[in-house]
Amino acid sequence: MITRDHISGLILTGGQGRRLQPKSGPAVEKGLVEVGGQPLVLRMLNYMQPRVTDVWISANSQLQTYANYAPVIVDDPALGEYQGPLAGIASVLPYVRTPWLFVMPVDIPYPPASLLAVLLQYANNGLAKIYYVHAQREHPLCMLMHVDLGSGLREYLRSGSRKVQDWQRQNAAMTVAFQGDLNEFLNINTPEDLCLATQLSPTDPL
């Protein structure tokens, strides 16, 4: 039986936030954008902490700021530059001391309270080593994965591949369907997304 004691959490903040950046303005650090008076990284930290034993942050900029919230791991330079979220996951895995890792992108401000519990229902009754969300569309980075996939993930990245779902398919990942409020999986990628997020109120407590 997989329980909280067997799971660590990882917040992915590595996206460059280009679509949030004003045409003539400075670069936007997505994880530090505020929704409901809190930076997104703090919202996700508050969401994860009651559900896992410890939390890591994958980041490649604003490292000192992120370190105020949780331990920060930068992408391993041996994997190359700008290799995407899989490089962040691969770089954190050597530090994880639990058999499972719950991964979430930082830009989902209102994740469903039951997300990890539902993934665990499948993990406790299945043989797969990766479980990820499908809610109208696939959310491959909302994922529960076994840490022994780390060496294979590094080999995948060293081969020049970086597509998340290709790697998941190679490892027989299982999709888990979610119904209900689609705003629970709202990703903040554009100014319009941010405007919508600020207008919403979560239906369940984080």
CATH assignment of the domain containing 114: 3.90.550.10
Number of folded domains in the chain? 1
Q: What does the H/E/C string look like for 188-202?
A: CCCHHHHHHHHHCCC
pLDDT digits (tens, 9 = 90+) for 88-98: 999 999 999 99
Residue type, position 153, single letter: L
The Cα–Cα gap between 31 and 21 comes to 13
Can you state the angle between helices 150-158 and 85-92, rounded to 10 degrees?
140
Cβ distance 194 to 20 under 8 Å? yes
Q: Which of 22, 19, 54, 17 shows the shortest CA–CA distance to 39?
A: 17
* pLDDT higher than threshold 70 for residue 142: yes
In a domain, 206, yes or no: no
pLDDT digits (tens, 9 = 90+) for 16-36: 555 565 555 566 789 999 998
* Average pLDDT, integer, range 130-154: 96
Domain coverage including residue 182: 4-199
